[in-house]
Structure 1
């Protein structure tokens, strides 16, 4: 197993605008490819904690659609403070969105959404998986403990993302984004964060019932940030090892890879992997 090759740029058509679709458990954004690539799987994009489908709408999903894929991005319902959603609820949200598509799908999951994506691998409609800074099958407890020891202000800011009220932007800015992204853009994105389900975050600390992509005969690829404090590089490598998948650790990008400086190259790299894997 070896890391994937360096970032590349591929020619793409003009990115389409999204529209909204309803399904059994909510709504999802959808992007229609201007020139569908024959045989290309649809893409189901699953967002991370405290985010929403909007993280894909800043350009990432549109670029994948412009490369020939139908793209769909559902939102997870975090529930209410008195009745927070569980990981099983998030998995049910994702499976309901998958069922509504009636087609072969590659699931692309970020962070907590990456954990949900891994738990969906056994679905017959899932043809493969791509992970961005994913919560690992081993759970987040070890990474969380190390964060508490190494960076207490950031650990407290992350812990408070399950509470009502505005997020603590300063420590989150250096975790979610690399130094190259202008502060105005970083703060714009961070201001859109929402309180996350405390129950789902708590459950994600523990080891998860995640099948191996290799064992199921399904292609997978894993990307992480070389300096991501939330899902550190060794966690990314262990996730890739579990799935016997190629991986890459990227320089200069923070945890929110689809929004950070250089997201275009990451989307193109993912597009090349899809093209090579699903000819």
Structure 2
């Protein structure tokens, strides 16, 4: 299986990486991959997006614009970025959202050309306040590391290693990924604490699927289950994986599960 390399495309509000399928699958929707907090389009370029493209999908990964120190971006800005990327593709698209990007994907599901929804460790429609409070009570050092994700020297905090990745991921690989994290917008993270206006996928007639890590302390399994229930979607809790599922040990199996769901949902 030849794995395609990404190239960069410009659209109205920024840039996105794109992977062309070497053998397009007839009728396959394009995939719009939306990254999570402190990340960027790069999280998909470590193999995950190439594997999806090799399975026959055109894959696109926009970069969210976090704004400036004087005007940090809010969720509305991230939504506008994703909506502009979706409009630029002008074809049926399955929204694949991770973490904070999963919340953006859920709010975008009623957009024209949005054909379905796949969520990886998503921020739930109920908001993150409950999960955040539990983390503060159960693991104060990790909670403080998460709180510092908005600071210049915060995202690479080593305490995040055990939340983002399972114990099986080689330490050098984990540190390489941690070094690429960047400060997140405080405004967007604060807004994500509150319940969100998310229409259920079943009400829109769009297929959906939800994946989570069984040991993820940032979006815990019960939040994953509630998100799946909201959308009346199948879900899977994967062993040994942390929050950054597309980078963790076993990401290939996750990509293949997603590919299988796509093939079953879009025949």
Which TM-score tier does this pair reach, normalised by the shorter chain?
over 0.9
Other-structure match for 1:180:
168
Moved segments of 4+, more than 4 Å: none
Other-structure match for 1:75:
63
What is the SS of the residue equivalent to 2:16?
strand
Cα distance in 2 between the residues matched to 1:205 and 1:81: 20
Unpaired runs of at least 5, structure 2:
none
Cα distance in 2 between the residues matched to 1:273 and 1:212: 18
Deviation at 1:166, TM superposition (A): 4.7
Q: Say if 2:95 is the partner of 1:107.
A: yes
Other-structure match for 2:77:
89
Q: Say if 2:200 is the partner of 1:208.
A: no
Other-structure match for 1:278:
266
- From 103, 110, 129, give the equivalent of 1:122: 110
What is the SS of the residue equivalent to 1:130?
strand
Aligned ranges 1:132-211 → 2 under 5 Å: 132-211=120-199
Deviation at 1:81, TM superposition (A): 1.6
Other-structure match for 1:59:
47
Unpaired runs of at least 5, structure 1:
1-12
Q: Say if 2:8 is the partner of 1:24.
A: no
Do 2:65 and 2:78's aligned partners in 1 also have CA atoms closer than 8 Å? yes
Do 1:177 and 1:256's aligned partners in 2 also have CA atoms closer than 8 Å? yes
* TM-score, structure 1 as length reference: 0.95
Two-structure CA RMSD over aligned residues (Å): 0.7
Q: Say if 2:209 is the partner of 1:249.
A: no
**More contact order relative to length (CA 8 Å, sep ≥ 6):** 1
Q: Deviations over 1:204-245 (max 9, x none)?
A: 000000000001110000000111000000000000000000
Q: Deviations over 1:73-124 (max 9, x none)?
A: 0010111121100000000000000000010000000000000000001012
What is the SS of the residue equivalent to 2:131?
helix
Other-structure match for 1:227:
215
Aligned ranges 1:259-274 → 2 under 5 Å: 259-274=247-262
* TM-score, structure 2 as length reference: 0.99
Do 1:169 and 1:187's aligned partners in 2 also have CA atoms closer than 8 Å? no
Other-structure match for 1:4:
none
Cα distance in 1 between the residues matched to 2:156 and 2:93: 36
- From 36, 40, 55, give the equivalent of 1:48: 36
Q: What is the total number of aligned residue pairs between the two structures? A: 267
What is the SS of the residue equivalent to 2:28?
coil
